[in-house]
Chain A
Amino acid sequence: MSLFQIGGFAFLGALCFWVGRGIRVGRIPRYAAAVWLLLCVIAAVLIADPRLTVLAARALGIGRGADLVFYSAILGSLFGSFLFYVRIRRIENKLTGIVRELAIREALPPSREQQ
């Protein structure tokens, strides 16, 4: 086994442990955990036998296995960025709601001397 494979398996093992702990304490939804574990399995298989990337790349019409990994990483990052953006927008909307509710509850009535 190469040094990269050892390091890769160790990293994936730690990730799986973190995901498992997240499920146990209820911090990570089950569907998200399933996606992460699936990605870990795929990554582990490809690290164990890198030749599989070549087969997959050729099946998809891409020249090299490394290119397939690279393109997949870019697309995955874009998708992940979009999900984060959606989440940030939703958090901003909730923040707006909180600030609004505070403003309404603490409304200053018209000053009596002007009425």
Chain B
Amino acid sequence: MPATPFNARPAGRFSRLCDRYAHQIPTSIHFLLNLLSRMHLSPPTASADDVFVIVPVFNEASVLGEVLRALLEAYPNVVVVDDCSHDDSGAIAASSGATVLRHIYNLGQGASLQTGIDYALRSDAQYIVTFDGDGQHRVEDIERLLQPLRAGTADVALGSRFLESTSNIPAQRRILLRAAVLFSRATSRLDVSDAHNGLRAFTHHAASRIHITMDRMAHASQLLDQIGSAGLRFTEVAVTVRYTDYSLMKGQKNSQAAVILRDYLIGRLVK
């Protein structure tokens, strides 16, 4: 497990101290101490060490090495969640220098993200970024997402491929994504322009308020719901999503939209 930086947020250790000695502290004082520990008293430092990048992976052996190489050049704390891949994705991730978590059973991208987030929270990450392992995202966009979080103007930064015309989205995919945006606006009441972008950044506080229970692709809509219901401040940042033959072949098929909708509606009904 990567060492926490020397200037780690006192809030994390403070909370643990509260929990350890809670039985010795009167209830009202304990409550006050916990409240203070969550007020983000120390200003965030602009360091890559405080960022954990979560990369959920399933059978991405052909591109994963390159993706991780680029990430690890900029961020030392890269966590790959191998969702029971059948190829060498896990071995490639392990040899690249990333931390690897492996699901012994294939659960889905939503579950993989939550596993990575849980790990990052336990490691006292100050900022948690989710990043796709198929090469669609650019490493340089991560810092753009982190800027509003570091400035304290937002708790969550969501990447959007529609804020700038820099993505070569196939027309059919664009139509479906627009429909997903309309749907997400209606259910989560968040005014987003890109509901299914895997590039996101959270503060520690925001990530601790979220818990993805929809294991497969419906998690994207659930995330928006939870951001809205938790009252988290969010912002959208223009990012580039690269569509390659590989990513189009590997990624979600347009026909899966109905399955995602079904999973989302049932997931809301059954908790």
Contacts and interface: CB of A to CB of B under 8 A. Distances in A.
Interface string B10-27: 000000000000000000
Given A96-B215, A99-B103, A103-B103, A110 B98 contact: yes
A100 B270 contact: no
Q: For the complex, would chain B's binding face be called helix, strand, loop or mixed by DSSP majority?
A: mixed
B101 A104 contact: yes
Contacts of B95: 111, 114
B81 A92 contact: no
A97 to B, nearest CB: 10
B101 A107 contact: yes
A115 to B, nearest CB: 6
A49 interface: no
A107 B94 CA distance: 10
A31 B103 CA distance: 38
Interface of A: 85-86, 89-90, 92-93, 95-96, 99-100, 102-104, 106-111, 114-115
Contacts of A107: 1, 99-101, 119
A111 B97 contact: yes
Contacts of B122: 104
Contacts of B111: 96, 99-100
Closest 6 CB pairs of A and B: A114-B97, A103-B101, A108-B100, A100-B115, A89-B270, A110-B97
A90 B270 CA distance: 8
A95 B101 contact: no
**Contact size range, B:** 20 to 34
B269 to A, nearest CB: 9
A108 B94 CA distance: 7
Contact of A106 (B94, B96, B102, B270): B102
Interface string B39-58: 00000000000000000000
Contact of A104 (B96, B104, B115, B213): B115
A99 B104 contact: yes
A14 B266 CA distance: 36
Contact of A92 (B72, B94, B96, B215): B215
Contacts of A89: 266, 270
A92 B215 CA distance: 9
Interface in B65-122: 72, 81, 94-105, 107, 111, 114-115, 118-119, 122
B170 interface: no
Contact of B1 (A93, A102, A109): A109
